[in-house]
Amino acid sequence: MILKKLDDVLLTPDKQVGVKVGINNLKKVKDILGVETLYRPKEQPGVYCIYFEKDDLVYIGQTKNISKEISTLRGGYRLQSSVNEAFKRNSPNVSAYAVIQGPGCIEEEERTKLETFLIKKAGEKSINIKGNPYAKTTSIINDPRIIRPKFIPFTKSWSEFGLSYANLPFPSSGGCIYIFLHKSTGNFYIGESVFSNRRSVIDRHTRYITRSQKYALNGTTVRAVKKYEKIVNNIKEFDSEFFYSSIIHSGVIDKQSSEILEREVRKEASVKYPNRLYNPLSSKEEVIYQNYLARASNLIPPKSISARTKQLPYLPNTFSFPVIVEGKWFESIAEVSKKTGVPLTTVKSRCLSPQFPNYIWLKDISSKNIPLTKDIENRIEEFNEKMIMANDYYSPKTKKTTRMTFDNYYKQQLLKRKNNDNLG
């Protein structure tokens, strides 16, 4: 499908969400993109643009979560030199907008069509490289200061480097966990791929390593290249040769499961081969991995509201979730506030902030690491049972009288269970 005007886009206005924006360079951005309305970004799939005021340029992108994508770009977590440099030049005079967002934008193919259309429409005003006929690229291939890595398929046993990994070819289909190892130092990197295209994996790491050198030479700090700093230093001090192979064939696997498997292998490598792994788990990844293990053992509730809703569809929004503060259990945020004297809103803010790791609200534990002492484990197990009972209670299948509150229902179920245990 060839897009000639915005009306050709299959994403229709009735599927929009968000508040229309009417300030901050709106007329300029609308003129550049040829649109009538822009929206405040939300955690929704769609197409967005970032406006760099000093340069009077835009960057256009599509994603399944606009707010998260924009935060990632602002934080320098992507190896996109044109975007990172634009943020550095223009900050803080940078604005972000959603062009279209909402449930109707779930199809990536449709988002990509609109993204490509808007990039061409913006033309010279866009800093996008892909799909932009006006893009001005600066090649680093011929820069004599940049040393390109050489990736060599490894045909021997990894035991030659003191590693106990299998040496497997990249599979023809399905995913894999792979390794590349610096020939001179024996330091190595472990990664994952859902679609085991060997060439694309090597090309991606070649691109990241060369860009990391460019950022270092330019004095640009980009968080996304932190794990490549040691690789770059090894290349400069020794040589640029790396051996590589697949070490685990993961088969047909989704991205999340592949990342969990990769974290497990990296976690073991950090312990077994200390100081040799280029990409050990970050503190955030440690939290994610530990919570995954706890969740897999049914020790903690589902990590997201959507996952919880899917598992417990009748659990009401008013259901109270416990809080763990400094290892101590409280039945609710209100109880924390009452017993500690900390204002209710402050307690909730601390629970949601990664800056307060010891304030853990079981309703949202995505950025927290739960202290799994025996007492906490027992309490969480009891709470999980309580959630299941609440889901049953509020289910239309459960017959209730007007006097049967959930608290009474819960006590009744516990009493029944206790009696059954005694009979057993």
Q: Residues 22-73: pLDDT tens digits?
A: 455 788 888 899 888 888 888 889 999 999 998 899 999 999 889 888 888 8
How many residues comprise the chain?
424
Spatial strand order in the sheet of 150-153: 150-153, 241-251, 175-182, 188-193
The Cα–Cα gap between 4 and 16 comes to 21
CB 92 within 8 A of CB 106: no
Q: Which residue has the higher pLDDT, 302 or 89?
A: 89
Go through the domains of the chain in sequence order and give each one's CATH number.
Answer: 6-125 (3.40.1440.10), 150-281 (no CATH), 298-423 (no CATH)
Residue 177, pLDDT > 50, answer yes
What pLDDT score does 291 carry? 63
Residue 415, pLDDT > 70, answer yes
β-strand pairing of 241-251 with 150-153: parallel
Residues of the chain by 3-state class (helix, strand, coil), percent to 5: 45, 15, 40
The Cα–Cα gap between 199 and 100 comes to 34
Residue 308, pLDDT > 80, answer no
CB 208 within 8 A of CB 166: no
The Cα–Cα gap between 349 and 322 comes to 15
In 195-353 the beta strands, taken as DSSP E runs, fall at 241-251, 323-325, 328-330
pTM for this model (two decimals)? 0.53
CB 136 within 8 A of CB 81: no
Q: Residues 194-210: pLDDT tens digits?
A: 886 888 899 889 988 88
Residue 217, pLDDT > 60, answer yes
Spatial strand order in the sheet of 46-52: 57-63, 46-52, 94-101
Q: What is the mean pLDDT of the chain?
A: 81
Residue for token digits 């590589």?
244
Q: Which residue has the higher pLDDT, 11 or 329?
A: 329
Residue 106, pLDDT > 80, answer yes
CB atoms within 10 A of CB 73: 22
Q: Residues 109-128: pLDDT tens digits?
A: 888 889 989 998 888 898 88
The Cα–Cα gap between 248 and 194 comes to 12
CB 176 within 8 A of CB 249: yes
Residue 412, pLDDT > 50, answer yes
DSSP-derived 3-state class of residue 122: helix
CB 145 within 8 A of CB 196: no
Q: Which two tokens mark 391?
A: 């889901």
Q: What average pLDDT score do residues 252-260 get?
A: 86
Q: Which two tokens mark 56?
A: 């009077």
The Cα–Cα gap between 81 and 209 comes to 13
